[in-house]
Chain A
Amino acid sequence: MTALLSVRGLKRHYPVRRPGGLFGRPATLKAVDGLDFDIPAGRTLGLVGESGCGKSTTARLVLGLVPPSAGEVRFDGGLVTAKHDAAWRRQRRRMQMVYQDPLGALDRRMPVAEQIGEPIAIHEPGLPAAERAERVAELMAQVGLGASMAQRYPHELSGGQRQRVVIARALALDPALLVCDEPVSALDVSIQAQVLNLLDDLRARTGFAALFISHDLKVVRQMSDRVAVMYLGRIVEEGAPEEVFHAPLHPYTQALVSAIPVPGRRRERIVLEGDPPNPVDVPAGCPFHPRCPVATARCTREVPRLERDAGRAVACHLVTAPAAHAAE
């Protein structure tokens, strides 16, 4: 089965200067540092990780909004570039984004119905206005917005309603891939559930594939067919959500999972020590080793590769070659 979206060796580095003004030494911020993943049509990949680990950069790379420093993104066989040419514009019809901050992603001076219809106006300029209005009404009904909302402005809607508008706009052209960048992190918990259920329903109905980015493990578990855990621009573990969350292999995933509060049961919580990660100063060897409770000498020297085995992938010397460690 060929994947709808396939990402190979994707890197995005930013030149930065270390603190010190004009005299600061130049350095490289490795926001995304070698990603490989596939999303088959109609499936959802969840991407988890802490702030600053490159999740949002991955979203923008996948959609071709920023050019990669190395590697490639293929969507339905075609290369995704960040050149805003005709091919790029055609790809917009099939891949769309749901933003983290719905108020920021909407124009304050335009009624929401007009904004929902905008992708249609951009990509099907020949369509009569009446038909466009009909499709907008359909979309609004699909995402659970009443017809009375059509002429409202974004600041007159609640957070959940705004995110519904953003989702309706993203679905206006019936895309094959939806990239959701923290779609619920700006919402109240009760609204989060509504929006997540809505996304789930819509996916069941229209069958789009999704890249679902979040720092919230519960949310990712609910939404994804597969989960990838990111740390400092790399994937450290990948697998089915039940496997990853019930039997995490990588020490970082173990720490993340142990931080999920479980009612009624006291559980040993792994508290990570050491400095929080700085993508400008990625440690040599395994990027996680300074905070890893079980790191060995080998971890400080060699970068572990992401080893795949039976639908599960993990990048840790201790998991992939425990024998070698025992011998050392």
Chain B
Amino acid sequence: MTTIPDDSGSVFTAKNRAAAFFQSWPPGILLALAWLAMCALLVAFAPHVAPYDYLAMDLRARLTPPVFFGGDWAHPLGTDELGRDVLSRLITSVRISLVIAFLSTLIAATLGVSLGFLAAWFRGRVEQVVLMLIDAQAAMPFMIIALAMLAFLGNSLPLLVILMGFYGWERIARIARGLAIAASEQGYATAVRDLGATPWRIYGRHILPNIASTLIVSMTLNFPEVILLESGLSFLGLGVQPPMTSLGNMVGYGRDYIQSAPWIMLAPAAAIVLTTLSISMIGDWLRDRFDPTLR
């Protein structure tokens, strides 16, 4: 054995820098992040980015196909039956749908975590009530509740956001309660309680950061479901009302032209798929990133 050691004498082999980078930032995650970043920019600057007003009609250019499919660059994604630019409508729809999904998930998470922590702290009667609420919510198909609420209370954007905020809170509450009960038996939580800390401090500063990773993952699972639910309601004509537009609304009204002008429906459908997929992937990846002991 007369292998000559390399110059450095180190027993470690230097990792390829690009390989190391892609190990902590997998390409799929980078693509998902890029897509979401683009969506975020669209949410912020939709009216400035869109080439036309999303309501502007051009009746002479109705049902123009997208560019490369017989259309031209005046309407890159084509136009719909009223000659409205599909790209501009898509940009506005992404904005509305994402804002609804984001606010609703935030409401669901706040509600779920608060109720879950209440149950974990008080136990006994309070916990029974919370668990009963959770079971009641889980037992009813949400779509039916949403349809009933929208049918009775009419339809407005704030109402829709609040209604969607009730979607999925029960899962988050159940997870938060279970994790908080488990965490409060851990040494760090009992140690802080023994110090005389208030429940605010125990739950806010110690237990919440320790269980946040799981909660964030369940939020990222909730987010695409809210997008799909909103799309479903809009598709049924009970969600976002025209002339306002959303991804589901576009799919719903585009279905009439699915044979003659499929691009009206396909563009928003692709946006839904890409966005929900990206968020799910990132949620999964975040769980690993958030755990300091896995780093």
Contacts and interface: CB of A to CB of B under 8 A. Distances in A.
A88 B196 contact: yes
A184 B184 CA distance: 24
Contacts of A97: 191, 194
Interface string A103-128: 11111111000000011001100000
Given A107-B192, A107-B206, A155 B292 contact: yes
Contact of B209 (A63, A65, A104, A109): A109
Contacts of A96: 195
A107 B196 contact: no
24 contacts: A92-B194, A96-B195, A97-B191, A101-B187, A103-B187, A104-B186, A105-B188, A105-B191, A106-B188, A106-B191, A107-B188, A108-B188, A108-B293, A109-B210, A110-B205, A110-B209, A118-B192, A118-B197, A119-B195, A119-B196, A122-B195, A122-B196, A155-B292, A169-B195
A79 to B, nearest CB: 17
Interface string B183-207: 0001110011011111001000110
Greatest chain B CB density within 10 A among A96, A97, A105, A153 is at: A105
A99 interface: yes
Contact of A99 (B187, B210, B292, B293): B187
Greatest chain A CB density within 10 A among B186, B195, B197 is at: B195
Contact of A153 (B186, B192, B210, B292): B292
Interface of A: 63, 65, 88-89, 92-93, 96-97, 99, 101, 103-110, 118-119, 122-123, 153, 155, 169
A288 to B, nearest CB: 32
Nearest to A95: B194
Nearest to B186: A104
Given A99-B187, A122-B201, A155-B293, A108 B210 contact: yes
A189 B206 CA distance: 32
Contacts, number: 54
Would you call the interface of chain B mostly helix, strand, loop, or mixed?
helix
A105 B209 CA distance: 16
A216 to B, nearest CB: 21
Interface in B187-242: 187-188, 191-192, 194-198, 201, 205-206, 209-210
Interface residues of B, number: 17
A63 B201 contact: no
Given A96-B195, A107-B209, 6 more contacts: A65-B194, A105-B187, A106-B191, A110-B209, A153-B292, A155-B293
Contacts of B188: 104-108
Query: Which 4 residue pairs of A and B lie closest in terms of their CB atoms, listed nearest first?
Result: A104-B187, A92-B196, A107-B188, A89-B196
Interface in B147-186: 186
B78 to A, nearest CB: 50
B247 to A, nearest CB: 37
A128 to B, nearest CB: 18
Contacts of A92: 194-196
A312 to B, nearest CB: 34
Nearest to B211: A109
Greatest chain B CB density within 10 A among A89, A99, A106, A107 is at: A107
A163 B175 CA distance: 32
Contacts of B194: 63, 65, 92, 97
Contact of B195 (A106, A109, A118): A118
Contacts of A119: 195-196
Contacts of B192: 107, 118
A278 B184 CA distance: 29
Nearest to B208: A109
A295 to B, nearest CB: 40
A103 B187 CA distance: 8
A123 B196 contact: yes
Contacts of A105: 187-188, 191
A36 to B, nearest CB: 24
Contacts of B197: 118, 122
A119 B210 CA distance: 20
A108 B292 contact: yes
Contacts of A108: 188, 210, 292-293
B214 to A, nearest CB: 13
A85 to B, nearest CB: 11
Given A108-B293, A110-B206, A155-B292, A99 B191 contact: yes
Contacts of A107: 188, 192, 206, 209-210
A119 B193 CA distance: 10
